[in-house]
Amino acid sequence: MVHADESNDPVHIYTEDFPPYQEFLGPGRIGGVATDLVKMLFEHSKIDYKIHVLPWFRTNHVVNNTPNAFIYSLARTQEREKQYHWVAPLCEINVSFYKLKARKDIKINDIEDVRQYVVAVASGQPTEQHLVEIGFSQDDNLVILASHEQGAQMLNKARVDLLYGADLFVKNVQMALGRHGEWERVYVSPHLSKRMYLAANINSDESLISKLQKSHHMLKSKLNTEARCEQAIRAH
């Protein structure tokens, strides 16, 4: 346990560029609906902080190995439950399978139907872990890639049948590649469609966690999390 009051240094918060939840706007500048909610909590708690935008791999590594380090927006899954302090709920996220609209041969009603197709997934994400846990394998029906962008490019070339990822990740990649309207969602994954959170390293100072949780309770009506998130997603 490391106590936050042992130094005057700011608390370090780590995130990735994932609009509209958190969005890198340039050196030292980060926006997004989740960022706004996190800033309000720290400022109400009178805790000095600094937000760092890193690739998700590095974000996870740093937070998992650094007491009093915070992370957002982190999906709260059963596998992660005991690995972090869950400080405050943020937005919800849906995770789905996508296909090319032109692929009329692909018909999916449930996860069992998915098994007959080859699925691309980004490495190091809960999506990869979930598919492996339920029996998908690289020898049969799973392609694990460094990023959603690589998976999207394989989908466009019909080198895989499906792309599995968070809806907004997929939408962002689709727009970046100029393929808007060419893909369609065929199945929403109930296992991974979760509430995202501001979380902290499990060995963090509990008084720090408590202070932020109390601020969340006091600010709950002012934060208006559900409405803020819905508005940001619609506008994105």
SS3 at position 25: strand
pLDDT score for 234: 75
Q: What is the pLDDT of residues 4-23, one digit of tens each?
A: 555 578 999 999 998 889 99
Beta-sheet pairing, 162-166 with 119-122: parallel
Q: Among candidates 125, 128, 103, 107, which has minimal Cα distance to 116?
A: 107
Whether 11-92+194-235 shares its CATH topology with 94-192 is answered yes
- Using pLDDT thresholds of 50, 70 and 90, give the confidence band for residue 209: very high
pLDDT score for 6: 52
- Strand locations in 101-182, DSSP E? 119-122, 142-145, 162-166
**Tokens in use for 169?**
């990740």
pLDDT reading at 207 higher than 70: yes
pLDDT score for 7: 55
157 alpha carbon, distance to own chain's centre: 26
User: Which CATH code of 3.30.710.10, 3.40.50.2300, 3.40.190.10, 2.30.110.10 fits the domain covering 94-192?
Assistant: 3.40.190.10
The CATH topology of domain 11-92+194-235 is D-Maltodextrin-Binding Protein; domain 2 (3.40.190)
**Tokens in use for 90?**
């943020």
- Using pLDDT thresholds of 50, 70 and 90, give the confidence band for residue 2: very low
Q: What is the pTM for the complete model shown?
A: 0.69
Domain positions in the chain are: 11-92+194-235, 94-192
pLDDT reading at 3 higher than 60: no
Q: What is the pLDDT of residues 39-94, one digit of tens each?
A: 999 999 999 999 999 998 899 999 999 999 999 999 888 889 999 999 999 999 88
SS3 at position 46: coil
- Using pLDDT thresholds of 50, 70 and 90, give the confidence band for residue 164: very high
